[in-house]
Structure 1
């Protein structure tokens, strides 16, 4: 965690330094630091996915739902990541479109899970 914090702070300091002279370099530095932090995060994410997989084996969850939930988490992270980069570059409208598209995608992916949940609840009640 300390590494991530140091990388982030140093990246911001470099970006601020370049922002007054050549603002495009600040965007490049921001993207590079973001990708570096993304690489650091992948190892932690792999551990979390493995742990969730083991939990899923104990609970006997349908693997389709587990896979869908992992895709939703991935879409959420990538949307936030790309939206943040667009906002840093000054493209708010593109960032908003990325966020809206990701929300609609997650909604569409979650509908089969909701349908199955409603079927199970109807089975219990009926």
Structure 2
């Protein structure tokens, strides 16, 4: 199973990081960052499969792809912001990590505004006396 390989890699990296951290803290940080990046790149194929399935589902149901693309971008922003914040936290910079997470939330909100507008417009049209 893939999760066993990922957890094994994580445990091995953790042990190496703990050993190296005392002598060379910068190398320990780099090892942690590269381990996270490797795991992310390992999962890209799975992410692509999910995205293609969602696009196919949207095509079959008639949902405009612009909405699906926007939602996928929002999810991507959330994952990237979390990943970046965790790397920065590993370096001991909690305040910078919080700013990365905040920026991700603001960008998601900005991207959500058009979708929220469509939802509000649809609800208003469904109400009796709506335009």
TM-score above 0.5? yes
Using the size of structure 1 for normalisation, the TM-score is 0.96
Using the size of structure 2 for normalisation, the TM-score is 0.93
Cα deviations across residues 54-85 of structure 1 (Å, max 9, x unaligned)?
11112211111111001011111110111000
1:4 positional shift: 1.1
CA RMSD of aligned residues (A): 0.8
| Structure 1 runs, 4 residues or longer, greater than 2 Å off | none
Which consecutive unaligned segments of at least 5 residues does structure 1 have? none
Greater RCO structure (CA 8 Å; 6+ sep)? 1
How many residue pairs end up in the alignment? 126
Which consecutive unaligned segments of at least 5 residues does structure 2 have? none
Report what 2:34 is aligned to: 32
Report what 1:115 is aligned to: 117
1:14 positional shift: 0.8
Larger radius of gyration: 2
1:51 positional shift: 1.0
